[in-house]
Structure 1
Amino acid sequence: MEEIVLGRTGLEVSRISLGGLFVSSYGAAFDQAREAVNRAVELGINYVDTAPMYGNSEEVLGRILPDLERPMIVSTKLGARPQPFDPRSAKALRESFEESCRLLGRETVDILMIHEPDRPRQFDWWEDFDAATGPVMGVLQALKEEGRIRFLGLGGTTAYEMARLLRTGKFDVVLTAFNYSLLWQEAAHELLPAAREHGVGVVVGSPLQQGALARRWDEVDAGARWLSKPRREQFRALYRLLDEIELPLPELALRFVLSNPDVHTVLSGVRSATEVEQNVAAAGRGPLSDGLLSRIAEIAAMVPFRPHDEPFALPFGRPYAGSPPAGPI
């Protein structure tokens, strides 16, 4: 597995990493999760991301990590714990970190991120957003001075607001989800350039866009109410390209993200050792050709920004009125 330096952190991370959500109660059963993580380490994956929001992911990883043949770089997050969560309480933030360490079975964490630092009406972290000031920064700095964390990060889902935070120069790593994939590329406009300017390590989550880029043609073509007409036409253009180049959509999606030199590692949401092997094999086939990247750019430009009638959380794979029968992805 190829490794790359994660921005100014100096950490050498594998190009494919593990998304902890999928080893939680929301994802695989414990034995299956343990097998997947062990296989990932065998194949050279050395970084895993988790969070209090990801079910019992921290607890599951805390049972798996001590028995691995090699240590992994670990990131977790602040946010949503303890309940009711107060993002302006230094005491609550410290308690959240200590609980993460207890569950993970570690005294230290490599990267601690602020979870959803930018989503409107979710968590009120900031006294001054553009200066990134608030109690959370004092907690992060104290933990770093104590040697409990090594690097500060952001993990969120609204690309433009996170770019504003990156421009403060206060963060070492950014995890952006749902904003950089084959058809959704908002992060490319401001977030990735801001990260490059400040030497920030870039982690991309959800390269398959919440499963959207792993669904069948008939689900997209059925005309679901939540799928806007421009997006449906965009999918049709993508499927025509896939027929032409004869590549599986999940492989194309993963290799597309890895083809961007501004992206350091991609979180892989795997539920089994087989899925780990498939993703590692796809990554090993290398970046896409310039010609193919140009074709993808033309398709992405069909819907450069999210249509107003497109929900943020796409319900791919969920039943809806008039949906086709369920089947394999």
Structure 2
Amino acid sequence: MTELTTLGFGAAGIGNLYRAVSDEMAAATVEAAWDAGIRYFDTAPHYGLGLSERRLGAVLATKPRGEFAISTKVGRVLVPSANPSGALDAEGFAVPADTVRRWDPSEAGIRRSIEDSLERLGLDSIDIAYLHDPDVYDLQAGISQALPALEKLRAEGLITQIGVGANSADALAACIRGADLDLVMLAGRYTLLEQPALAELLPLCEEHGVGVANVGVYNSGLLARPVVPADAHYNYVPAPAAILDKARALAACCNEFGVDLPTAALKFSLRHPAVRTVVVGAATPEQISQTAERMAATVPDELWEALVARGLLPAEVCA
């Protein structure tokens, strides 16, 4: 498998997350990621009810297969749904609700999910399969059924690496204890704003040799702009006052060192040794360029030290 690049491309945006994106814009965005040197691409059936996989696969099918790594997710299978009114998906994607997601952690469900993803992607292999959000459905069923199925698929050579993706650091820790994982995809729990994964998950990853793909590093967009707006969101809902205050304090400290908030957020997300890649979503080529510029920026160590001194970061991030 191709080694994961430090910066990965998250393909939820080209699955019409929150707003519609044209086929042409989606393709241009993936091409821009490739031109920026990104060689790790992450998608899921959940993203646009398969639209993300189809769009991503259409571009990657034109690239040398040995030069990129691709991950998708299992646990949710897509099944047809009657949609005579043309209603849109109810889970945040601007696509017709012609199919619905069904939780299926069984071996048959996991195999079906992989087969369906390969068909949508138009590729002959998937490098990494993550069990997607098992804590949202049934964590114990995910550990007892889905993860053994993934281990079996890896042993058969159908997948190179396996992992779990979740917003909960505790859930990911439980999965590491319950299976032989290669990676976890950690969403929003090791960011400039908050680091609950430091307590247990990240040390456990180091102990077991499990790599971390860090995602959601802007905390639902709260850290994505230099100035934190009053209507900013956190965990997909309007941010509470205390969270807004902390984000603004972070931004003020960053500005003192000539670093904008989103650049600091992106660079911080890579500081732990267990983190192998940070995956950032984009829906336009301009967003790719902006992220690449932030990744290339230099952030002085003095910034992290100042954030620790002000109680905005724990001391261990500078150890």
Q: Mean Cα displacement is larger for which, 181-190 or 67-76?
A: 67-76
Q: What residue in structure 1 maps to residue 82 of structure 2?
A: none
Which whole-Å deviations, capped at 9, do the CAs of 1:59-90 have from their partners, x for residues lacking one?
A: 11121111236742000111221356243433
* Structure 1 residue 272 displacement after superposition: 1.8
Does the alignment pair 1:24 with 2:15?
yes
Distance 1:31 1:150 in 2: 31
Q: What residue in structure 1 maps to residue 230 of structure 2?
A: 219
* Structure 1 residue 94 displacement after superposition: 1.7
2:74 aligned partner, one-letter code: L
Tell me the number of residue pairs that the alignment of Structure 1 and Structure 2 aligns. Answer: 283
Computed over aligned residues only, the root mean square deviation of the Cα atoms, in angstroms, reads: 2.5
- Name the SS for the 1:151 alignment partner: strand
Equivalence map 1:10-49=2 (5 Å)? 11-26=2-17, 28-49=21-42
Change in Cα spacing, 1:76 to 1:285, as seen in structure 2 (3 Å) is same
Which whole-Å deviations, capped at 9, do the CAs of 1:193-248 have from their partners, x for residues lacking one?
A: 11111111110111111111125434169xxx953343233123123213322322
Q: What residue in structure 2 maps to residue 253 of structure 1?
A: 265
* Structure 1 residue 144 displacement after superposition: 1.8
Change in Cα spacing, 1:227 to 1:24, as seen in structure 2 (3 Å) is closer
Distance 2:300 2:273 in 1: 13
- Name the SS for the 1:137 alignment partner: helix
Does the alignment pair 1:60 with 2:55?
yes
Distance 1:230 1:196 in 2: 32
TM-score (norm 2): 0.80
| Native 8 Å contact 2:5 2:277 kept in 1 | yes
Q: What residue in structure 2 maps to residue 285 of structure 1?
A: 297
Equivalence map 1:1-329=2 (5 Å)? 11-26=2-17, 28-55=21-48, 56-68=51-63, 71-83=67-79, 85-117=102-134, 119=135, 122-127=136-141, 132=143, 134-168=144-178, 170-215=180-225, 216-219=227-230, 226-286=238-298, 288-297=299-308, 298-301=310-313
Change in Cα spacing, 1:48 to 1:106, as seen in structure 2 (3 Å) is same
Distance 1:236 1:280 in 2: 24
- Name the SS for the 2:124 alignment partner: coil
- Name the SS for the 1:82 alignment partner: strand
| Native 8 Å contact 1:46 1:73 kept in 2 | yes
Change in Cα spacing, 1:161 to 1:276, as seen in structure 2 (3 Å) is same
* Structure 1 residue 21 displacement after superposition: 0.5
Distance 2:228 2:129 in 1: 39
Structure 2: runs of 5 or more not aligned: 80-100, 315-319
Distance 1:247 1:182 in 2: 13
* Structure 1 residue 165 displacement after superposition: 1.8
- Name the SS for the 1:153 alignment partner: strand
2:140 aligned partner, one-letter code: W
Q: What residue in structure 2 maps to residue 312 of structure 1?
A: none
Distance 2:68 2:292 in 1: 17
Which whole-Å deviations, capped at 9, do the CAs of 1:108-165 have from their partners, x for residues lacking one?
A: 2101110112x2xx222535x8xx3x22234213322332111111111101221122
- Name the SS for the 1:114 alignment partner: strand
Which whole-Å deviations, capped at 9, do the CAs of 1:257-310 have from their partners, x for residues lacking one?
A: 123332111111112222212212221224x333211233444359xxxxxxxx
Distance 2:154 2:147 in 1: 11
| Native 8 Å contact 2:43 2:71 kept in 1 | yes
Q: Mean Cα displacement is larger for which, 105-114 or 33-42?
A: 33-42
| Native 8 Å contact 1:38 1:68 kept in 2 | no
Q: Identify which of structures 1 and 2 has the higher relative contact order when contacts are C-alpha pairs closer than 8 Å and 6+ apart.
A: 1
- Name the SS for the 2:275 alignment partner: coil
- Name the SS for the 2:279 alignment partner: strand
Distance 1:253 1:235 in 2: 10
User: How high is the sequence identity, in percent, across the aligned residues?
Assistant: 30
1:149 aligned partner, one-letter code: I
TM-score (norm 1): 0.78
